[in-house]
């Protein structure tokens, strides 16, 4: 169904009447997509959140976990970023539309929880990747987008591969399987009104991600860093003490996960979508 459609979402909830909902669906993309289509990211995400949460409330859902983003935090937030930093300063302009929509989702969940209409808790992940990802060269997130572009560069025997920025920006990356475990932990153990960070606690420089993925993909050309392009915030490491305190920590070694994600790209829909 199209989660932006009130009629389709209402029909689904009326048929299925789920007790528990993980709201992970969203309009997402990398920095290029966020810069090019802020209105689309802002509107579509609000429609998805509004339709799913209100119908979950109407049809007696016991609990809903809403998946937000580390983008909700101010660009100059103190590192590591605590959940209380939300709405304490200006957002990063390159993904403001997406971030504002996610903030609206967090607030809607809090309003519904306070009123007793729906038990909503919000989880904030870092930069995600994994099998069946969006391997689009422009719309994909950091890891899947780089995989698609590096694979094309390898196939084209391109002598150079250009990366936006100087490569020193840092990102907290998390494999999708580890996130799934984190969200189950949140569903089972977390009840607070304030969001909960679900990051890995491990930062990678963008340049190191690109060099590692070049080895995974088998690209032999030169990596060129173009500092004239925007890169977003230089660092956004989250304080994950809450989720760690609930007994969860990431288990998957990133290099293994990179290889698994690339293999999925080659054998699944990735090559066609990328």
Q: Which residues are designated catalytic?
A: 98
Read out DSSP for the chain? --TT-HHHHHHHHHHH--SEEEE-------HHHHHH-HHHHHHHHHHHHHHHHHHHHHTT-SEEEEE--GGGS-TTPPSSBPGGGTTSSPPPGGGHHHHHHHHHHHHHHHHHHHHTS--EEEEEE-EEE-TT----TTTS-HHHHHHHHHHHHHHTT-SEEEEES-S--EEEEEEHHHHHHHHHHHHHH---SS-EEE--S-EEEHHHHHHHHHHHHT--SEEEEETTS----S---B--HHHHHTT----S-HHHHHHHHHHHHHHSSHHHH-
């Amino acid at each position: 169904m199209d989660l932006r459609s009130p009629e389709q979402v209402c029909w689904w909830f009326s048929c299925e009447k789920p007790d528990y909902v993980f709201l992970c669906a969203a309009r997402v993309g990398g920095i290029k997509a966020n810069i090019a289509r802020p209105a689309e990211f802002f509107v579509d995400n609000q429609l998805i959140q509004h339709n799913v949460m209100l119908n979950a409330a109407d049809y007696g859902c016991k609990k809903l976990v809403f998946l937000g983003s580390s983008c909700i935090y101010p660009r100059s937030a103190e590192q590591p970023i605590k959940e209380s930093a939300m709405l304490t300063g200006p957002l990063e302009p390159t993904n403001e539309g997406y971030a504002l929509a996610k903030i609206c989702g967090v607030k809607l969940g809090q309003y519904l929880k306070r009123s007793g209409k729906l038990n909503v808790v919000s989880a904030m992940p870092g930069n995600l990747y994994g099998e069946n990802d969006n391997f689009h060269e422009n719309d994909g997130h950091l890891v899947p987008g780089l995989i698609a572009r590096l694979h094309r560069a390898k196939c084209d025997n391109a002598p150079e591969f250009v990366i936006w920025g100087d490569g020193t920006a840092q990102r907290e990356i998390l494999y999708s399987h580890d996130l799934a475990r984190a969200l189950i932990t949140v569903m089972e153990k977390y009840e607070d009104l304030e969001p909960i960070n679900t990051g890995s606690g491990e930062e990678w420089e963008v340049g190191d991600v690109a060099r590692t993925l070049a080895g995974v993909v088998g690209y032999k050309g030169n990596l060129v860093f173009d500092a004239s392009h925007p890169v977003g915030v230089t660092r956004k490491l989250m304080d994950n003490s809450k989720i760690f305190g609930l007994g969860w920590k990431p288990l998957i070694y990133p290099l293994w996960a990179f290889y698994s994600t690339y293999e999925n790209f080659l054998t699944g829909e990735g090559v066609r979508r990328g």
